[in-house]
Amino acid sequence: MALIIQPNAAFMVPLKNQGQEKKVYRAYDLNILGYSDSELRRRYRFGRRSIEYLVDTLRDDLKRPTNRGHALTVEQQVLIALRFYASGSFLQVVGDTLGVDKSCVSRVVRNVTDALVARKDAYITWPTDAEHLRTIQSGFYQLGRLTNVCAKWPGAAHDSHIFRTSALCHHLEQHHRRIADGFILGDNGYPCRPFLLTPYFNPHGQPEQRYNDSLCATRVTIERTFGRWKRRFHVLNSEVRMEPSRVCCIVVACAVLHNIAIDMCEPDDDRANIDEQPPVEAYGGRHDGKGIRDHIARTFFAQ
């Protein structure tokens, strides 16, 4: 076997010579040196400081004890996975672009994805205490943060069924007690619940119409968050040729990365203004979804 080694090579990938049995190693330098933050974000969706944070965070899971000279470093593994998430390209294309074998890309993406999913509870949290809840309510439009992810159903499953069987729904059924606890918003594909507000199907009068208009305008913030998420990680828009269980893990990993991007103050030009939340009065009517929805419409949208 012959080796061709270039100076300053980060690692070497074996390539077969056509017509020959011996292997030639092509040196490839995969690191963040020499790139500006804007160039890094175009390629990986994260700047230098954020990439270094990810490397440090995932180091224990990705570091491999080996004496092989061409073993991938933790930084290289993170960059390969980020390139896959950001581009949404096939594993083969990512490998050809970065000078890495397809099987190597597949293994790296799996390992990095699993390492991120293992940390989901640290980065994706539903607000439970009063102070955290007030922070979410007062800064709802600015945060654009993912607080709960359920990625275990195929595309044919109905939204209401996914929510009804989710841990979030079970939590709200047990712990939502009053209007001040806040609400989640849904379209008419969901049932109206005490903690889940939906539009009036046929609004009567100005309060109900204003309520519908406000709910739709607020839900735009949610749709905008999904849009930012998909633009940051194109893999969420692409055809991922993997087993469904593996695709679910990639979705969760990208949710973790989205929140890390917010924590690290990665640039986002699609932010809306903070909205002041009106005071919430006590409600003593019937505690069902439609009764609470009527109270919200009469109280906040009558004028």
- The stretch 128-135 carries a mean pLDDT of 67
Helix axes 74-87, 91-98, angle to 10 degrees: 130
Q: Are residues 114 and 127 in the same domain?
A: no
Runs of H (alpha helix) within the chain: 37-44, 48-62, 74-87, 91-98, 102-117, 120-123, 130-138, 140-143, 159-164, 167-175, 205-232, 244-263, 289-300
Question: What is the residue type of 17?
Answer: N
With contact defined as beta carbons under 8 Å apart, do 116 and 253 qualify?
A: yes
Q: Are residues 288 and 187 in the same domain?
A: yes
What pLDDT score does 273 carry? 37
Q: Are residues 149 and 221 in the same domain?
A: yes
What pLDDT score does 230 carry? 93
Residues 6+ away with beta carbon under 8 Å from 63:
74
The per-residue pLDDT for range 53-72, each reduced to its tens digit, is 999 999 999 997 765 556 89
- The stretch 254-283 carries a mean pLDDT of 70
The answer to whether residue 288 sits within a structural domain is yes
With contact defined as beta carbons under 8 Å apart, do 197 and 289 qualify?
A: yes
The per-residue pLDDT for range 151-171, each reduced to its tens digit, is 988 777 888 999 999 999 999
Give the domain-ending residue among 97, 118, 139. Answer: 118
Q: Are residues 90 and 106 in the same domain?
A: yes
Q: N- to C-terminal Cα distance for the chain?
A: 82
Task: Residue 168: name the closest of 124, 137, 138 by CA.
Answer: 124
The per-residue pLDDT for range 170-223, each reduced to its tens digit, is 999 998 888 888 889 999 889 999 999 999 999 999 999 999 999 988 888 888
- Give the pLDDT band of residue 98 (cuts 50, 70, 90): confident
Number of domains in the chain: 2
Q: Are residues 137 and 284 in the same domain?
A: yes
